């Protein structure tokens, strides 16, 4: 006869605790009044304690204790390993690397701390220290944003109860990057006129009139351009000193179709004729799919494009611009013309209006004249 003891069934209503092979640690489940409740912890004992608390409270989960739960390191691991790969709006390798870079700074200062125990002042102290190490204001914003997104994911998973990074303060001592330039309507028209006479001038016009990122404009294929539209599906990227075309854009929303203004469609048609003449004269051409190339058909280099645009602006007696500031100018000009932020976000390929409002839209009018547009003398 077998001496194996029969398995004992759990008493109804006490739930069960089992190893979580996918995530590690232990998971507990209990069904109360037809609803299933789940808790998680690193140890079996802690998981059972949480489950018993849920049962005592009739289904309400107890808040995490500052002495238990995941560390900031573990929260960052979860965010980078699970949340980031699953999100539709962020998949460019450059964006992932930026989050990893920012997480590295957080780990050095707060990684060992229990995430639930971290206080706002500690995040402030970390940002102060990083500013002292020479990080600029924009870099500190990236560090705070990565930590805030990681903590938000932990709150969503009920590993912690609050997100202290959202209210942390960037130190006033942090160095600021150069203020972005946005063209006035008059200067924009002057630049567009100058670009009609420049080789690859239409590449810069696409950024100014449609808000394309510099890499998106440089990475266009002729197959992407119709009579009255352009499909943005790829971009030029630089990695380890090498320039290449990638189908991996900054976000999923970056892949978009944009209507072409008539003058820009005409500019592109002129550019195509000029390029055909160049190709015949060159004898050999590297890539005939590309809209914008070097004189031998190679991908254009972003750093050289930057120098070319600066030179064009100087000849036209315009403010010095880099290619990304053409995108800023596009958003600012359209906003000044009354285009809503939601439409601007769609045009620029952003998921929300936050970047438009905080980064890309600049005030173009020296005088805020909304008050004097109203006829205050009108009587009811």
Give the percent of the chain with pLDDT over 90. 47
Residues of the chain with CATH 1.10.150.130: 72-167
CA dist 226 and 224 (Å) reads: 7
Fold of 72-167: DNA polymerase; domain 1 (1.10.150)
The number of residues in the chain equals: 380
What does residue 5 show for φ and ψ, rounded to 5 degrees? -80, 140
CA dist 136 and 129 (Å) reads: 12
CA dist 186 and 172 (Å) reads: 35
Average pLDDT over residues 19-45: 83
pTM to 2 decimals? 0.59
Residues of the chain with CATH 1.10.443.10: 185-360
Report whether pLDDT(14) > 90: no
Report whether pLDDT(39) > 70: yes
Fold of 185-360: hpI Integrase; Chain A (1.10.443)
Give the percent of the chain with pLDDT over 70. 82
Mean pLDDT estimate for the chain: 84
What does residue 19 show for φ and ψ, rounded to 5 degrees? -70, 135
Q: How many CB atoms are closer than 10 A to CB 328?
A: 23
At 378, is the secondary structure helix, strand, or coil? coil
Where does the pLDDT of residue 378 fall: very low under 50, low under 70, confident under 90, or very high at 90 and above? low
The two tokens of residue 337 are 């013309």
Report whether pLDDT(12) > 70: no
């Amino acid at each position: 006869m077998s001496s194996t003891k029969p398995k004992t069934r759990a008493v109804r209503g006490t739930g069960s605790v089992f190893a979580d092979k996918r995530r590690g640690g232990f998971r507990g489940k209990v069904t109360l009044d037809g609803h299933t409740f789940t808790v998680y912890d690193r140890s079996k004992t802690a998981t059972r304690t949480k489950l018993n608390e849920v049962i005592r409270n009739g289904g309400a989960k107890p808040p995490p204790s500052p002495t238990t739960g995941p560390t900031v390191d573990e929260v960052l691991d979860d965010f980078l390993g699970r949340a980031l790969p699953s999100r539709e709006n962020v998949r460019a390798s450059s964006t992932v690397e930026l989050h990893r870079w920012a997480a590295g700074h957080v780990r050095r200062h707060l990684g060992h701390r229990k995430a639930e125990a971290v206080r706002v002042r500690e995040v402030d102290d970390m940002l102060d220290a990083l500013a002292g190490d020479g990080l600029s204001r924009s870099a500190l914003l990236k560090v705070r944003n990565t930590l805030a997104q990681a903590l938000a994911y932990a709150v969503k998973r009920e590993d912690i109860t609050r997100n202290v990074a959202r209210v942390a303060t960037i130190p006033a001592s942090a160095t600021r990057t150069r203020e972005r330039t946005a063209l006035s309507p008059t200067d924009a028209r002057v630049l567009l006129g100058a670009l009609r006479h420049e080789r690859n001038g239409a590449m810069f016009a696409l950024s100014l009139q449609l808000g394309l990122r510099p890499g998106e404009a440089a990475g266009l294929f002729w197959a992407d351009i119709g009579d009255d539209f352009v499909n943005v599906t790829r971009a030029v990227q630089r990695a380890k000193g090498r320039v290449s075309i990638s189908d991996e854009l900054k976000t999923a929303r970056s892949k978009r179709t944009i209507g072409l203004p008539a003058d820009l469609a005409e500019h592109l048609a002129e550019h195509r004729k000029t390029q055909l003449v160049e190709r015949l004269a060159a004898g050999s051409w590297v890539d005939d799919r590309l809209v914008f190339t070097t004189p031998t058909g190679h991908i254009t280099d972003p750093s050289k494009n930057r120098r070319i645009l600066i030179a064009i602006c100087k000849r036209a007696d315009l403010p010095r611009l880099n290619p990304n500031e053409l995108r800023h100018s596009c958003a600012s000009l359209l906003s000044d013309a009354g285009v809503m932020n939601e439409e601007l976000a769609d045009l620029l390929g952003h998921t929300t209006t936050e970047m438009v409002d905080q980064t890309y839209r600049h005030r173009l009018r020296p005088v805020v004249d909304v008050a004097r547009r109203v006829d205050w003398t009108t009587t009811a």
